[in-house]
Amino acid sequence: MIRDLASFSGKNVLLLQGPLGPFFMHLSRDLRKVGAKVTKVNFNGGDWLFSSGSCVNYTGHAIDWPKFLSRLIKDRKVDVILLFGDCRSLHRMALKLAVPMGIDVGVFEEGYVRPDYITFERYGVNANSQLPRDASHYLAVEPHIRAAQPVGNVFWFAALWAIIYYLVSSLLWPIFRRYQHHRPLTILEAWPWIKSGFRKLIYAQIEQDIEDRLVNDYSKHFFLVPLQVHNDAQVHVHSPYKSVVDFIESVIASFVKNAPHESLLVIKHHPMDRGYHDYTDEIRQLSIAYNAPDRILYIHDQHLPTLLQHSAGVVLINSTVGLSTLHHNIPLKVCGDAIYDMHGLTFQESLDDFWIGSRNFKINTRLYISFVSYLIGMTQFNGSFYRKLPDTSNTAGIVWSDDLDEAA
């Protein structure tokens, strides 16, 4: 996989949809500086705002996109396609078209290892990743993890870019009216981000004693269930569940039937979904229906590492929390399709067996260290999509291999 900017020299690069904000705009400038010819496709007003240089606006129907893309690839003699997220419908069609043509496709995604990394893989991420799923492959690797520059808190930066993106997309909707986004593409979409900030402050007050209670009264007697964002592809594409609520009910049913009676089930909301969904009513109704209202707790913004250290085990679909769980040597049950779900790292028996079986489950620490070392070396770049690291030589503000060579 390409690890340095110089590898793009002389290439014809096509950028499709990027993350919210100016990251792809900055990346295109970096690519041009090293001698790449860059074309950017805009699908909505937000894409158009955060673009620079040679751009093409796609205003057609989704069904006509492959034909348009095929012609664009031939006209621009495209060598490499870069995109953010491999499960967006237009990107899925692009991958299906480009890969048989021998075109390199680089997929960006939020970092597997957070908060200081972003993901960049060839052809696909998460369940579509090309990473080996065989533990013996990683046990043969000599671990080496280079220290990363801390990114810091990016929530308010992400919120700002989201508000601007949706505002401009709403204003320019008449131009791109045939485009279908995975969220409502209107100015009203700014409201959940604003609401999320207020909810964060409110939950900090009304839940201020919950963390102390879990640490002092329920240490090693509660199971943690970190939720996904409601429209996450890990739920709808790479798991057996129809929705987050479907997952919640499945876990509650299994917990009530099989977990030790003195244990607690702690369901933690995803911080990036705070402004969109609140599962209070659903969880309350399910806890009553399964006759366990005193054994199920719904929380929001408690310190995750502290929760992990004191939990008896973690159940999730597929989240970066999984790697944090392994880092803290806590038993983990994965219910979706995750790159780290393998023998020696995660509980491989059923969810019903996990509640008791987790007591005797041991993580292979050597395998975990080797896996993370390989993961960072092959798929992660130090940096963020939403704010730039200061000590880099490029406009996008991430650490490429050439930056590491200069530092060395």
Within-domain flag for 173:
no
Q: Which domain holds residue 51?
A: 5-110+146-156+383-407
Which residue in 27, 147, 119 sits closest to 404, CA to CA?
A: 147
How far apart (Å, rounded) are the C-alpha atoms in residues 45 and 176? 7
How far apart (Å, rounded) are the C-alpha atoms in residues 84 and 276? 22
pLDDT confidence band for 312 (50 / 70 / 90): very high
Contact between 221 and 264 (Cβ < 8 Å): yes
Residue 297, H or E segment: strand 296-299
Within-domain flag for 364:
yes
CA dist list (Å): 333 to 130, 224, 267, 323, 355: 22, 11, 14, 12, 10
pLDDT in tens, 136-157: 999 998 888 788 999 998 988 9
Q: Are residues 222 and 345 in the same domain?
A: yes
Tally of CB atoms within 10 A around 366 = 12
pLDDT in tens, 179-189: 998 777 777 77
Least trusted range by pLDDT, from 195-199, 214-218, 359-363: 195-199
What was the pLDDT predicted at 1?
Answer: 58
The tokens for 22 are 């100016």
What was the pLDDT predicted at 51?
Answer: 94
Record the pTM.
Answer: 0.89
Least trusted range by pLDDT, from 38-42, 128-132, 202-206, 302-306: 202-206
CA dist list (Å): 281 to 90, 287, 382: 35, 10, 39
Contact between 41 and 88 (Cβ < 8 Å): no
What was the pLDDT predicted at 402?
Answer: 57
Torsion region of 85: left, alpha or beta (phi above 0 gives left; psi -120 to 50 gives alpha): left
Handedness of CA 383, 386, 389, 392 (dihedral sign): positive
pLDDT in tens, 340-357: 999 999 999 999 999 999
Determine the Cα angle at 303 with ends 299 and 304, to 5°.
Answer: 85
Which residue in 35, 33, 38 sits closest to 9, CA to CA?
A: 35
The tokens for 146 are 């280079």
Q: Are residues 301 and 392 in the same domain?
A: no
What CATH number is given to the structural domain containing 328?
3.40.50.2000
Q: Are residues 214 and 362 in the same domain?
A: yes
What was the pLDDT predicted at 406?
Answer: 45
Q: Are residues 245 and 389 in the same domain?
A: no
Question: Which whole number is the average pLDDT over 159-182?
Answer: 91
Contacts of residue 205, defined as CB under 8 A and 6 or more positions apart, other chains included, come to none
Contact between 194 and 74 (Cβ < 8 Å): no
**DSSP letter assigned to residue 388:** -
pLDDT confidence band for 405 (50 / 70 / 90): very low
What CATH number is given to the structural domain containing 27?
3.40.50.20
Q: Are residues 65 and 98 in the same domain?
A: yes
CA dist list (Å): 177 to 62, 64, 168, 180, 187: 11, 14, 13, 8, 14
Q: Are residues 359 and 226 in the same domain?
A: yes
Q: How many domains does the chain have?
A: 2
Q: Looking only at Cα atoms, what is the longest distance across the chain?
A: 66
Within-domain flag for 205:
no
Three-class DSSP category at 35 = coil
Within-domain flag for 350:
yes
pLDDT confidence band for 298 (50 / 70 / 90): very high
Question: Which whole number is the average pLDDT over 9-24?
Answer: 97
Of all residues in the chain, what percent carry a pLDDT higher than 90?
80
Question: Which whole number is the average pLDDT over 185-197?
Answer: 79
Q: Are residues 304 and 341 in the same domain?
A: yes
Q: Are residues 227 and 344 in the same domain?
A: yes
Within-domain flag for 44:
yes
Least trusted range by pLDDT, from 130-144, 161-175, 178-192, 349-363: 178-192
Contact between 371 and 398 (Cβ < 8 Å): no
Within-domain flag for 134:
no
Contact between 120 and 84 (Cβ < 8 Å): no
Report long-range pairs for 289-293 (Cβ below 8 Å, ≥24 apart).
290/252, 290/253, 290/256, 291/256, 292/252, 292/255, 292/256, 292/265
pLDDT confidence band for 401 (50 / 70 / 90): confident
What was the pLDDT predicted at 404?
Answer: 52
**DSSP letter assigned to residue 399:** B
Is the model more confident about 186 or about 214?
Answer: 214
How far apart (Å, rounded) are the C-alpha atoms in residues 387 and 152? 9
Res 13 pLDDT > 90: yes
pLDDT in tens, 64-109: 999 999 999 999 999 999 999 999 999 999 999 999 999 999 999 9
Is the model more confident about 183 or about 16?
Answer: 16
Res 250 pLDDT > 60: yes
Question: Which whole number is the average pLDDT over 306-325?
Answer: 96
What was the pLDDT predicted at 194?
Answer: 83
Which residue in 159, 169, 168, 158 sits closest to 191, CA to CA?
A: 159
